[in-house]
Amino acid sequence: MDSQGQVEPRVVWAVVESGIGPLLLAASREGLVNVVFHATDAVRDRAVERLASRLGTEPVEAPGSPLLAEAIRQVGAYFAGERRDFDLPLDWSLISGFNREVLRELASGVPYGTVVGYGDLAGRVGQPGAAQAVGMAMGANPLPVVVPCHRVVESGGGIGGFGGGLETKRRLLALEGVLPEPLF
């Protein structure tokens, strides 16, 4: 129950502004469960439908929910340049197996302002030949920004792909000082 004696919904969501456009943040009682880029109305509606289908419960828009308060605060601080690490409970229920293992290693082992190659990350989880599978795991990341898939790059120096778009990846890497700020 919340402070007013109301039962908190199982999954709540809110759209917050960020340095890369609107982000949808969704949380369950276990923790932050989803971050969605470019959360315009159409993207938001599809994301909420997908969450309902995958989690078996109807997510409720609740920007004031205690389940979201800390995530909203930390995301805001990150984009303001005041926070380098996220310290949030995460709900990993949208991802499993190899993908979850890779994302957990990414979250704990690739700090702010650094990058790692797809192949290097594969090696860290004991699968040195699985660079392509690591790329697939990055594309399946339900918690981008917080689980920093933008920090995974090509071993030859290329930026690699990114579900939020390459310009978003460049802006995140510039925020962290890995790339220069775009000129325009």
Q: Give catalytic residue positions.
A: 149
The residue with tokens 């917050």 is: 16
How far is the C-alpha of 148 from the C-alpha of 86, rounded, in Å? 10
The residue with tokens 């419960």 is: 57
8 A C-beta contact, residue 146 and residue 52: no
Which pairs count as long-range contacts for 105-111, CB under 8 Å and 24+ apart, including other chains? 106/147, 106/148, 106/149, 106/151, 106/152, 107/146, 107/147, 107/148, 110/148, 110/151, 110/152, 111/84, 111/85
